Amino acid sequence: MLRWSQKDLSSASGVSYPTIARLEQDDGALGGRSSTVAAIRQALEHAGVEFIAENGGGPGVRLKK
């Protein structure tokens, strides 16, 4: 969606590159510390990603208009 590499996400979030790589290897819900998840989410939101709550069709993401 943003066409970011793992290094781009690492730079934007302040989360180390090895941590980003490890988290992306796992299927399912994002693991890790809550502060790590919050930093990643904040970086994505700052870049224009909007997280959509489950509303009958399931949770998801989209770019803000």
| pLDDT at residue 32, rounded to an integer | 76
Q: Token match 């969606």: residue?
A: 1
| pLDDT at residue 22, rounded to an integer | 92
Total structural domains within the chain: 1
| pLDDT at residue 58, rounded to an integer | 75
pTM (predicted TM-score): 0.82
| pLDDT at residue 39, rounded to an integer | 96
Of 53, 40, 49, which Cα lies nearest the Cα of 8?
40
Q: Is residue 45 assigned to a domain?
A: yes
| pLDDT at residue 56, rounded to an integer | 65
Q: Is residue 1 assigned to a domain?
A: no
| pLDDT at residue 28, rounded to an integer | 76
- CA 5 to each of CA 8, 9, 53, 58, 60: distance values in angstroms, whole numbers, following the listed order: 5, 6, 25, 26, 20
pLDDT beneath 50: ranges in the chain: none
Range(s) of the domain holding residue 45: 6-63
| pLDDT at residue 16, rounded to an integer | 96
